[in-house]
Amino acid sequence: MPQSLAEWLSHLESLHPKIIALGLERVAEVKQRLQLEPQFPVIVVGGTNGKGSVCAMLEAMLHAAGYRVGCYTSPHLLNYNERVRIAKRQISDAELCVSFAQIERARGDIALTYFEFGTLAAMQCFISHNVEVAILEVGLGGRLDAVNVFDSDCAVVTSIDIDHIDYLGDTREQIAYEKAGIFRSGKVAVFGDTDMPEAIAVQAQKAGTQLWRLGRDFSIKAGELQWDFQGKDSKRSSLPYPALRGAFQLNNASSVLAALEAMRASLPVDMTAVRRGLMEVELPGRFQVLPGKPVLILDVAHNPHAAHSLAKNLSSMPACPRTYAVCAMLKDKDMAGVIRELVWQVDVWLVAGIAAPRGATAEELGQVVQQELMDGEMLSFATVTEALHHACKEAGENDRIIAFGSFYTVAEAMRAKCA
């Protein structure tokens, strides 16, 4: 068997012929063999954009309330261990290797995907550490995602937009049907956007789920310095704005408070913990503004909905002479749709390639940018590192640089940074 975490991750990548293979049969069988039956509440978070923010805020508030929290998210930016956190600490290499070895022995001839293997390992770590609540982020879709092998006590769907059309469908209704697959009978499902596809309501009714919808069952009242949350049966007033930047973070924060209201019988959280969680929450790569001049903004935005949010956030910042965009994307994404949302915010496009199986080359992305470009300049680079170094060299101290387009892009930018 592999010994180090690096060896295990390489082994996991080779187990299944496909990177993504949706379906619950394989992972459910190995789960049963391992007897992974959590005895603690489970909150499952799905949606097109905002999942990471909701998980981070839930984790921060529950941790501040004194609970031992397990949190499983994906993908990671720099280290795999980021995906599995207990008490806000990343799991160790040694513990991951122990879990991977147990799963390897249990799976027999069942070919698990990288994500399925990791999902089982995360839950095994949570059970062995006796966490008091687990937060699980859906990897892709919901209905057939490995996370869905575990029943949720509360489900959150953050938003619905077009993404992963090869797996989920090419309409919001089709995608909503897949996302709603995490709903459970007799439990609460929170929908965190005012624009809700009909399929969410239909599937909630079929599943026997209590659907709580933003704008109907819970709401936000935003002030200049503070905001209020009105739930179904509770109100939280004079709240600080989330430490996470972005136009949609109040939607995400209100979804978190709705989920906590649904879970209050088993997981009560007081106002002190809510406020601490909002002020202390951290999530790298989501409109992350790094200090220094020129300012560097990192954002994993990889679909039009997320790009629209990024453009809105940029427009709310103080004006600057020039904006440089370091952009690299996966070729199965709606590259044109993403560029279209941001074309008016960018003066100089620095497109780069991604050295990954689904990564677009600089030439492929450059062709899309050229088709959408109304004005401005475009240069091509083999890597994000080269593009970022060029931006840092050319940008004035009052300019800004944004690096966006995928987790790969942000991860490489984090490693490179401005020298």
* pLDDT tens per residue, range 132-143: 999 999 999 899
Q: Last residue of some domain: 240, 259, 280?
A: 280
* CA 12 to mean position of chain CA atoms: 22
Q: Predicted confidence band at 418 (pLDDT cuts at 50, 70, 90)? A: low
Same domain? 215 vs 320: no
Amino acid 169: pLDDT: 79
Q: Are strands 400-404 and 323-327 parallel, antiparallel or unpaired?
A: parallel
Same domain, 10 and 92: yes
Q: What is the rounded CA–CA span in Å between residue 9 and residue 19?
A: 13
State the sign of the Cα–Cα–Cα–Cα dihedral 244, 152, 213, 165: positive
CATH code, 407: 3.90.190.20
217, burial (CB in 10 Å: exposed 0-12, middle 13-18, buried 19+):
middle
What per-residue confidence (pLDDT) applies to 19?
66
Instruction: Classify 297 as helix, strand or coil.
Output: strand
Whether the per-residue pLDDT at 329 is higher than 60: the answer is yes
- Taking a C-beta distance cutoff of 8 angstroms, is the pair 47, 160 a contact? yes
> Strand 133-137 to strand 188-191: parallel, antiparallel, or no bridges (unpaired)?
unpaired
| 265 and 297 housed in the same domain | no
pLDDT value at position 376?
Answer: 79
Asked if the model's pLDDT at residue 390 lies above 90, the reply is yes
Residue with token string 């941001």: 342
Give residue-wise pLDDT tens across range 185-237. Answer: 999 999 999 999 999 999 999 999 999 999 999 999 999 999 999 999 999 99
Q: Is the peptide bond before 318 cis (omega within 30 degrees of 0)?
A: no
Residue 378 confidence class, pLDDT cut points 50, 70, 90: very high
H/E segment holding residue 96: helix 93-107
Q: 115: domain CATH number?
A: 3.40.1190.10
Phi then psi dihedrals of residue 116, to 5 deg:
-60, -45
Same domain, 250 and 333: no
Same domain as 139, residue 121? yes
Angle made by CA atoms 21, 26, 32, in degrees to the nearest 5: 150
pLDDT attached to residue 374: 75
Query: Of 238, 254, 280, which closes a domain?
Result: 280
Average pLDDT, the chain: 94
Best CA proximity match to 131, nearest among 119, 122, 120, 142: 122
CB 7, CB 139: distance < 8 Å:
no
The pLDDT of residue 167 is 66
Residues 25, 81, single domain; the answer is yes
If asked whether residues 234 and 360 sit together in one domain, one would say: no
Same domain, 271 and 241: yes
The letter for the amino acid at 326 is V
Residues 333 and 310 in one domain: yes
Give the closest residue to 342 by CA, choosing from 385, 298, 372, 381. Answer: 372
- Give the C-alpha separation, 191 to 67, whole Å: 25
* 3-state secondary structure labels for all residues of 229-266: EECCCCEEEEEECCCCCCCCHHHHHHHHHHHHHHCCCC
Q: How confident is the model at residue 387 (pLDDT cuts 50, 70, 90)?
A: very high
The domain boundary residue, chosen from 217, 248, 280? 280
Which of 229, 194, 189 has the alpha carbon at shortest distance from 61? 229
Tell me the per-residue pLDDT of 50-69, one tens digit each, with 9 for 90 and over.
999 999 999 999 999 999 99
| Residue 83 DSSP code | G
Residue 82 to residues 137, 181, 219, 264, 395: CA-CA distances in angstroms?
Answer: 13, 26, 32, 28, 32
Do 296 and 248 lie in one domain? The reply is: no
Token pair belonging to 137: 């982020």
Domain of residue 76 covers: 5-280
Say if residues 301 and 329 touch (Cβ distance below 8 Å). no
The pTM of the full predicted model, rounded to 2 decimals, is: 0.95
**Span 258-312, pLDDT tens digits:** 999 999 999 999 999 999 999 999 999 999 999 889 999 999 999 999 999 999 9
Cα gap 106→300, rounded to integer Å = 35
Using 50, 70 and 90 to split pLDDT, how confident is the model at 419? low
Reported as a pLDDT band with limits 50, 70 and 90, residue 15 is confident
pLDDT at 225: 92
**249 plus 357 within the same structural domain:** no
Please report the pLDDT score of residue 22 as a whole number.
Answer: 77
Structural domain count of the chain: 2
> Do 272 and 301 belong together in one domain?
no
